[in-house]
Amino acid sequence: MARSSDATLVGSLVRQAYLNRTYAFNAELEAKISAVTPEMAKAALNKYVTPENLVVVRAGTFGK
């Protein structure tokens, strides 16, 4: 997370105050995310995502 500019830091502090969170909460969340292994991510994907129910959408202007 970028914390090097005043504007970014102020925005982060305001958002955290609104959500009633602290930087300790963010540090814990970042540690949990860093601890996720590829195997854990794949197991979660298999548990919660049904490939047959996925829809792929392409939008925009595409060259001919």
Q: What distance in Å separates the CA atoms of residue 15 and residue 9, rounded to the nearest whole number?
A: 10
- Model-wide pTM > 0.85: no
> What letters, b where the CB count within 10 A reaches 16 and e where it falls short, cover 35-62?
eeeeeeeeeeeeeeeeeeeeeeeeeeee
Predicted confidence pLDDT, tens digits, the chain (64 residues):
566 788 888 998 999 999 999 989 999 999 999 999 999 999 999 999 999 999 999 999 988 6
The answer for residues whose C-beta is within 8 angstroms of residue 26's C-beta and 6 or more apart is 1, 16
